[in-house]
């Protein structure tokens, strides 16, 4: 376990974003698991002292070969139920973990996927994708990410898609700058008879309304948005871009209201035999990071993120079973029987193009039920 002590108060939102928990007995923060990048960030915080072991692998990485064989034959063992659930799908085969971050393994509706792709950032995702070699179409692997014309994928080839992910989609970013919601104005402090601080000028002038009162801040400031990224075939590029911009606008308003947002791009699908499923989760923004509009517009607004890059990582793994003609049954990450947890919000795939292009805000009700958000959206 890793602990952080010292001058942690000023960094508490960052520590919460790393899923740390406050330990009042030891007067420190505790972390069960940190990625190498998170550990480097933690050690770089001014005034914070870090102690404890190096980040230990999650249970699925640390099981011995003997225990793995045991779990192949025994689906659930009472004494190790948590380990089993975290590591093994329903048929007893181990989950194949690809990527540098397994934070959301078994977090979604479909438990124990046959393959889990988890990445701590867009940079980590691109670093993995850029190493892939085009696989053969032999019934086990598939070059779906390299196949497809520009009208469908939005790029001429796979290399162009990787370049956009690495350097940014400038066309989409330019559109985002023109269409994004106006920046929120700074909150105004209110003057009252009572408050937390004094307006000295008003006090000396004899004005009874000389106390400054701030609006109460939310008790739990960290919220997570899970956003499905792979598009339905009929969705137009313009509506995909509008969706990305509205999501960015929602995040901007949440953070203006005092919340800190985590954005996770997700894709959940079932294999063509419908017996097994595989999942992808790419963290585009950690709670302590500023919103990167380049990452958001590419991941949610450009078809190549799903139709080239996501299909590429899945096509290279035989367990996913992709073919050029069949690329999985889309499955929602959450549903009524398995809803999001507290302070989590889910944005599923867009299923309509019935939107007036002169008023893209009409798309908002098709993206998320705004009544579930902790804020009221008022668009200028």
Q: Is 139 exposed, middle or buried (0-12, 13-18, 19+ CB in 10 A)?
A: exposed
Which H or E element spans position 279? strand 277-285
77 and 176 belong to one structural domain: no
Give a yes or no: residue 114 inside a domain. no
Give a yes or no: residue 10 inside a domain. yes
pLDDT beyond 60 at 170: yes
Quote the tokens at residue 182.
Answer: 């106006």
- Count structural domains, the chain: 3
Give a yes or no: residue 8 inside a domain. yes
**Rounded CA separation 131/173 (Å):** 26
307 and 263 belong to one structural domain: yes
Which H or E element spans position 158? helix 158-167
Higher pLDDT, 218 or 363: 363
**Rounded CA separation 348/371 (Å):** 16
The band of 378, judged by pLDDT with boundaries at 50, 70 and 90, is: low
Residue 293, phi then psi, degrees to nearest 5: -65, -25
Give a yes or no: residue 212 inside a domain. no
Question: pLDDT tens, 73-105?
Answer: 333 333 344 443 444 454 556 788 899 898 898
The band of 196, judged by pLDDT with boundaries at 50, 70 and 90, is: low
Question: pLDDT tens, 10-40?
Answer: 888 888 777 788 888 888 998 876 766 677 7
pLDDT beyond 50 at 68: no
274 and 225 belong to one structural domain: yes
47 and 73 belong to one structural domain: no
Quote the tokens at residue 262.
Answer: 């985590």
What percent of the chain clears pLDDT 90, i.e. is strictly above it? 16
Residue 191: per-residue pLDDT: 60
Residue 273: per-residue pLDDT: 66
Q: Which residues contact 263 (CB under 8 A, 6 or more apart)?
A: 224, 225, 227, 247, 251, 283, 284, 285, 296
Which H or E element spans position 262? strand 260-270
Q: Per-residue pLDDT averaged across 345-358, rounded? A: 71
pLDDT beyond 60 at 188: no
Strand boundaries in the chain, DSSP class E: 2-6, 21-23, 28-31, 48-52, 96-99, 115-119, 190-192, 197-198, 211-213, 222-228, 260-270, 277-285, 329-331, 344-347
Q: Tell me how crowded residue 340 is: count the other CB atoms within 10 A of its CB.
A: 16
Residue 377: per-residue pLDDT: 63
307 and 249 belong to one structural domain: yes
**Cα dihedral 6, 10, 15, 20 sign:** positive
Residue 271: per-residue pLDDT: 78
Give a yes or no: residue 188 inside a domain. no
36 and 77 belong to one structural domain: no
Residue 17: per-residue pLDDT: 74
pLDDT beyond 70 at 52: yes
Cβ 69 vs Cβ 90: under 8 Å: no
Q: Which residues contact 365 (CB under 8 A, 6 or more apart)?
A: none
C-alpha atoms less than 13 angstroms from C-alpha of 209 in its C-beta half-sphere: 4
Nearest to 192 by CA among 205, 211, 206: 211
Nearest to 30 by CA among 47, 10, 53, 46: 53
**Rounded CA separation 250/285 (Å):** 14
Q: Tell me how crowded residue 150 is: count the other CB atoms within 10 A of its CB.
A: 12
Cβ 6 vs Cβ 48: under 8 Å: yes
The band of 177, judged by pLDDT with boundaries at 50, 70 and 90, is: low
Question: pLDDT tens, 247-258?
Answer: 887 888 888 888
Q: Tell me how crowded residue 333 is: count the other CB atoms within 10 A of its CB.
A: 23
pLDDT beyond 80 at 189: no
pTM of this structure: 0.66
Residue 274: per-residue pLDDT: 66
227 and 251 belong to one structural domain: yes
Give a yes or no: residue 108 inside a domain. no
pLDDT beyond 50 at 158: yes
227 and 330 belong to one structural domain: yes
256 and 299 belong to one structural domain: yes
- Domain around 41: 2-52
Give a yes or no: residue 74 inside a domain. yes
Question: pLDDT tens, 133-155?
Answer: 998 887 667 888 998 888 888 88
167 and 300 belong to one structural domain: yes
What percent of the chain clears pLDDT 70, i.e. is strictly above it? 68
Residue 69: per-residue pLDDT: 44
What is the residue-averaged pLDDT of the chain? 75
Give a yes or no: residue 343 inside a domain. yes
From 90, 109, 136, give the residue that closes a domain: 90
The backbone region for 15, taken as left when phi is positive above 0, alpha when psi lies in -120 to 50, beta otherwise, is alpha
250 and 302 belong to one structural domain: yes
71 and 22 belong to one structural domain: no
């Amino acid at each position: 376990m890793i602990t952080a002590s010292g001058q942690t108060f000023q960094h508490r939102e960052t520590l919460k974003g790393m899923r740390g928990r406050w330990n009042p007995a030891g007067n420190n923060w505790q972390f069960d698991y940190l990625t190498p990048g998170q550990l480097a960030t933690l050690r770089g915080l001014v005034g914070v002292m870090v102690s404890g072991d190096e980040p230990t692998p999650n249970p699925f990485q640390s099981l011995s070969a003997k225990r793995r064989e045991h779990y192949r034959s025994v689906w659930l063992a009472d004494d190790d139920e948590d380990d089993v659930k975290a590591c093994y799908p329903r048929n007893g085969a181990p989950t194949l973990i690809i990527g540098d971050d397994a934070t959301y393994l078994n977090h979604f509706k479909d438990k124990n996927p046959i393959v889990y792709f988890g990445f701590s950032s867009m940079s980590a995702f691109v670093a993995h994708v850029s190493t892939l070699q085009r696989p053969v179409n032999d019934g086990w692997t598939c070059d779906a990410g390299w196949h497809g014309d520009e009208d469908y994928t939005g790029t001429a080839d796979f290399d162009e898609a990787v370049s956009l992910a690495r350097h940014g989609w400038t066309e989409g970013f330019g559109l985002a700058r023109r269409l994004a919601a106006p920046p929120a104005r700074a909150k105004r402090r209110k003057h009252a008879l009572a408050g937390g601080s004094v307006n000295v000028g008003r006090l000396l002038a004899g004005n009874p309304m000389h106390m400054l009162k701030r609006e109460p801040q939310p008790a739990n400031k960290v919220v997570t948005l899970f956003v499905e990224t792979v598009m339905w075939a009929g969705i137009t590029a313009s509506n995909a871009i509008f969706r990305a911009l509205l999501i960015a606008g929602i995040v901007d308003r949440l953070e203006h209201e005092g919340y800190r947002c985590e954005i996770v791009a997700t894709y959940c699908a079932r294999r063509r035999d419908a017996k097994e499923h595989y999942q992808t989760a790419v963290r585009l923004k950690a709670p302590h990071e500023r919103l990167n509009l380049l990452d958001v517009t590419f991941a949610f607004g450009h078809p190549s993120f799903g139709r080239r890059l996501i299909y590429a990582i899945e096509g290279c793994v035989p367990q996913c079973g992709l073919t050029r003609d069949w690329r999985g049954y889309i499955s929602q990450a959450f549903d009524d029987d398995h809803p999001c947890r507290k302070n989590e919000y889910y944005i599923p795939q867009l299923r309509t193009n019935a939107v007036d292009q002169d008023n893209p805000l009409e798309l908002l009700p098709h993206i998320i039920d705004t009544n579930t958000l902790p804020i009221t959206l008022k668009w200028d």
